[in-house]
Chains A and B, each alone.
Chain A
Amino acid sequence: MPIIKADLDLCQGYANCVMEDARFFDISDDGVVVVLQEEFAKEDRTRVEAAVRSCPVSALRIEE
Chain B
Amino acid sequence: MDSRTVIVGGSVGGIRVAQALRSQGYTGEVTVIDAETYHPYDKPPLSKSFLDGTLSYDRLYLISEEEVRDSAIDLRLGDRVVGLDITGSSVILESGPAITFENLVVATGLRARPSPWEATDGVHLLRTLDNAQLLKEDLLGAGSVVVVGGGFIGAEVAATARSFGLEVAIVDPLKIPIGRVLGDTVGERFTGLHHSNGVSTHFGTGVERITGAKGNLSVELSSGAVLLGDLVVVGIGAVPNTEWLVSSGLLIDNGLICDEYCRAAGQSNIYGVGDVARWYHPGYQALVRVEHWTNAVEQAACVAHNIINPKESDSYSPVSYVWSDQYDWKIQIAGETAAASDCVLVEDPSNHARFAAVYSNRSGSYCGVATVNWPRAMIQCRRLLDKESDISIPLNLITALLPSV
Q: Tell me whether B294 and A56 are in contact (CB under 8 A).
A: yes
Write out, one digit per residue, whether chain B residues 337-381 have a CB within 8 A of any chain A CB (1) or not (0).
Answer: 000000000000000000000000000000000000111101100
Is A4 an interface position by the 8 A CB rule? no
Q: Tell me whether B383 and A16 are in contact (CB under 8 A).
A: no
Residue in chain A with minimal CB distance to B323: A14
Contacting A at CB under 8 A, from B303-336, are: 321, 323, 330, 332
Docked Cα-Cα span, A18 to B49, in Å, equals 24
Is B169 an interface position by the 8 A CB rule? no
* Interface residues of B, count at CB 8 A: 26
Docked Cα-Cα span, A53 to B304, in Å, equals 14
From A14, A16, A28, A46, give the contact of B376 (CB < 8 A).
A28
From A27, A49, A53, A54, give the contact of B379 (CB < 8 A).
A27
Interface of B is mostly: helix
Contacts of A15 in B (CB 8 A): 375, 378-379, 382
Contacts of A16 in B (CB 8 A): 294, 297, 321
Write out, one digit per residue, whether chain A residues 3-20 have a CB within 8 A of any chain B CB (1) or not (0).
Answer: 000000000111110110
Contacts of B298 in A (CB 8 A): 54
Docked Cα-Cα span, A16 to B294, in Å, equals 8
Q: A residues within 8 Å of B by Cβ?
A: 12-16, 18-19, 22, 26-29, 31-32, 45-46, 49-50, 53-54, 56
What is the CB-to-nearest-CB distance from A2 to chain B, in angstroms, rounded to a whole number? Answer: 13
| Known pairs A14-B323, A14-B332, A16-B297; A53 contacts B19 (CB<8 A) | yes
Is B44 an interface position by the 8 A CB rule? yes
Docked Cα-Cα span, A18 to B330, in Å, equals 18
What is the CB-to-nearest-CB distance from B311 to chain A, in angstroms, rounded to a whole number? Answer: 19
Residue in chain B with minimal CB distance to A26: B379
